[in-house]
């Protein structure tokens, strides 16, 4: 029997990168996937790929930074039969020197990376408690190590990590699991938003390089995300699994 047979999984950021790879992997293992994204009608291309592989999925366009849109999108999933797992992959960011960060940029990144998962967890909580389900939040190795030019991004991911652990503690007794996956550099479109500032110090940037000679693929991150969302991880909660090629070793 496939690990996700008949299980209903909501994935944000499912139009690209880790979210798309996770949606495909879970659908291939029998999951019924609801893709949420601000782009591509919520994940039209991802739907095509999943259906081409014989899987089941729907897509809902949704800006995770907007609580009203999140309520509507989560409502679509709950109306269709409930939610067994919520996976927050939507994310954004940029490299900037700290003294050049504007309040608007801080707000923009915080709204997607932290408020987004906060809103989706809030909206899906009752459905997840009813199913004794789980949350997997995609954090970043930047949440646990200092990273030059990433003060904004790393702070939003640090907030997301603390939030994940607190959620695990508060709702663990009711059977809800909440875990984080913290990648290092992944070869996805997001990375192209991160252009180092002029005259960036290469010694500072070097800290974020992994030990294995290449970036992770989206599929390599999706493998760990899928594990945490599956019954193979039934007794794991409040954890943060680093999939960072040893960048924090
Ligand atoms: N790429 C990396 O090197 C890296 C490293 C560590 C952590 N991460 C994290 O992994 C996660 C997935 O990123 P990825 O690398 O697959 O990037 P990606 O750009 O391929 O995918 C991110 C998706 O999020 C969606 N998105 C952005 N803002 C949104 C919003 N407001 N509402 C809904 N959807 C929105 C985008 O449209 C996109 O489809 C992110 O949380 C990111 O911070 C990425």
Domains of the chain and any CATH numbers: 8-243 (3.40.50.720)
User: What span, in angstroms and rounded, lies between the C-alpha atoms of 126 and 83?
Assistant: 9
Q: Tell me the CA–centroid distance for residue 207 and ligand 1, in Å.
A: 22
Q: Which of 89, 149, 245 to mutate to test the pocket of ligand 1 (most atoms within 8 A of CB)?
A: 89
User: What span, in angstroms and rounded, lies between the C-alpha atoms of 145 and 53?
Assistant: 39
State the pLDDT at residue 209.
Answer: 79
pLDDT at 1 over 90: no
pLDDT band at 232 (very low <50, low <70, confident <90, very high): very high
C-beta of 89 in contact with ligand 1 (< 6 A): yes
The predicted-structure confidence for 31-67, as pLDDT tens digits, reads as follows 999 999 999 999 999 999 999 999 999 999 999 999 9
Collapsing DSSP to helix, strand or coil, 181 comes out as strand
Q: Which residues are catalytic?
A: 153
C-beta of 191 in contact with ligand 1 (< 6 A): yes
Percentage of residues in the chain having pLDDT higher than 70: 99
Q: What is the DSSP letter of 111?
A: I
Atom of ligand 1 nearest to the CA of 93: 43
Q: Is 198 exposed, middle or buried (0-12, 13-18, 19+ CB in 10 A)?
A: exposed
Yes or no: say if 180 and 150 are a contact pair by the CB < 8 Å rule.
no
C-beta of 87 in contact with ligand 1 (< 6 A): no
State the pLDDT at residue 192.
Answer: 87
User: What span, in angstroms and rounded, lies between the C-alpha atoms of 57 and 48?
Assistant: 9
pTM across the whole model: 0.98
Q: Tell me the CA–centroid distance for residue 201 and ligand 1, in Å.
A: 25
Average pLDDT, the chain: 97
The residue whose C-alpha atom lies closest to atom 34 belonging to ligand 1 is: 37
The predicted-structure confidence for 181-225, as pLDDT tens digits, reads as follows 999 999 999 988 899 999 999 888 877 779 999 999 999 999 999
State the pLDDT at residue 193.
Answer: 87
The residue whose C-alpha atom lies closest to atom 36 belonging to ligand 1 is: 13
* Interval 131-158 mean pLDDT: 97
Q: Which of 103-107, 169-173, 202-206, 209-213 has the lowest mean pLDDT?
A: 202-206
C-beta of 112 in contact with ligand 1 (< 6 A): yes
User: What span, in angstroms and rounded, lies between the C-alpha atoms of 107 and 161?
Assistant: 18
């Amino acid at each position: 029997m496939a690990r996700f047979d008949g299980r209903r999984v909501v994935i944000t950021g499912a139009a690209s990168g880790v979210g798309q790879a996770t949606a495909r992997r879970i659908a291939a293992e029998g999951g019924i996937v609801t893709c949420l994204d601000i782009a591509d009608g919520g994940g039209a291309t991802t739907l095509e790929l999943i259906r081409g592989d014989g899987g089941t999925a729907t897509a809902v366009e949704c800006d995770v930074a907007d609580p009203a849109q999140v309520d509507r999108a989560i409502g679509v999933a709950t109306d269709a039969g409930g939610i067994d797992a919520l996976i927050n992959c939507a994310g954004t960011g940029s490299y900037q020197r700290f003294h050049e960060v504007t309040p608007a940029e801080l707000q923009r990144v915080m709204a997607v990376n932290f408020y987004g998962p906060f809103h989706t967890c809030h909206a899906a909580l009752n459905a997840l408690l009813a199913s004794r389900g789980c949350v997997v939040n995609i954090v970043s190795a930047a949440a646990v190590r200092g990273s030059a030019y990433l003060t904004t991004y790393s702070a939003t991911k640090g907030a997301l990590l603390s939030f994940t652990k607190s959620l695990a503690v508060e709702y663990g007794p009711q059977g809800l699991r909440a875990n984080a996956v913290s990648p290092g550099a992944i070869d996805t479109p997001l990375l192209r938003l991160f252009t180092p500032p002029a005259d960036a110090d290469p010694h500072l940037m070097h800290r974020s390089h992994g030990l294995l000679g290449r970036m992770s693929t989206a599929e390599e991150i999706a493998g760990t995300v899928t594990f945490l969302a599956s019954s193979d991880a039934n007794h794991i909660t409040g954890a943060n699994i680093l999939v960072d090629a040893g960048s924090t070793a």
